[in-house]
A = this chain, B = another copy of it.
Amino acid sequence: MKSLRIAILGTGNVAWHLASTFENQGHVINHVYDRDINKAEKFALDYFNASTSDSLDLSEINAHLFIMALSDDSIEEVAQTLQLPSGSTLVHTSGTVPLNSLGYAQTHNIGVFYPLQTFSKGKSLDFTDIPICIEGESDETIELLRNLANSISHSVHLLNSNQRKVIHLSAVFACNFTNHMFTISKGILESNDLDFDILKPLIVETLNKSFDISPENAQTGPAKRGDMETLDSQFESLSNDPSVAEIYQLVSQNIIDFYQD
């Protein structure tokens, strides 16, 4: 595709990863906005062609695309005061904020460019396999975002705001909750002078198996086997932490019910 001139609003992890990936693929970051001008200037050091600002009047910035990589709860407010050149396109990068939160912006070319990944500061990620979920109000916007997404990833998905919400909810279970299960597991081990490291090979192989044969076919453990003796004894052993015991009981029961159906 042709090279795009891109303005980035925000200087956090998502902004950092997107901007460097875009430039690596031949696009040009030509402006960086942050309400803290020092952050904008520091960020812009990596981008030879980038001007900076802490003002939301960006009507003089000659960019094809303005990307809001801001926190979810500031997107709608910023969109309301933002001034853009006519004919430009505005997108946000959030998994949860609906497209119409950009409806107040002074442009009709609005969309979403949501990379479905967790980003850490300073740790480069290869975008090739990262799903990019796009949404646009017009066919032209969709086409622009699809081309941009294809230029950095081979996994591009046109999703509406409701589908994006569903993905976000499913990620809460598959990522946030699994990570908290690790935290609980680590706590149980450490209160018995055991190290979480001992579980890592098992966790990795369980994940491999789950991906290979699908999670519902990979389930093991006392609840799957209906081994009531082990379930009772493990539940008892959690009596010093009632809320963890309740999680144990509820998830085990859900597994039992799932495999009885």
Contact = CB atoms under 8 A, between A and B. Distances in A.
| Chain A interface mostly | helix
Interface in A230-261: 230, 234, 237-238, 243-244, 246-248, 250-251, 253-255, 257-258
A205 B250 contact: no
A140 interface: no
Nearest to A127: B201
Nearest to A213: B120
Interface string A192-233: 101010111111111101110011101111111001001000
A104 interface: no
Contacts of A223: 176
Interface in A111-157: 116-118, 120, 125, 129-131, 155, 157
A172 to B, nearest CB: 6
A70 to B, nearest CB: 15
B254 A157 contact: no
B182 A178 contact: yes
Contact of A243 (B172, B184, B253): B253
B166 A194 contact: yes
Interface residues of A, number: 82
A83 interface: no
A4 interface: no
A194 B203 CA distance: 26
A211 B202 contact: no
Contacts of A258: 180, 183
Contact of A209 (B120, B202, B204): B120
A203 B175 contact: yes
Contacts of A176: 219-224, 255
A181 interface: yes
B257 A157 contact: no
B180 A254 contact: yes
B157 A170 contact: no
Given A167-B199, A203-B175, A183 B219 contact: yes
14 contacts: A117-B202, A166-B192, A171-B202, A174-B182, A174-B185, A174-B203, A175-B202, A175-B203, A175-B221, A178-B207, A180-B255, A183-B258, A196-B215, A247-B247
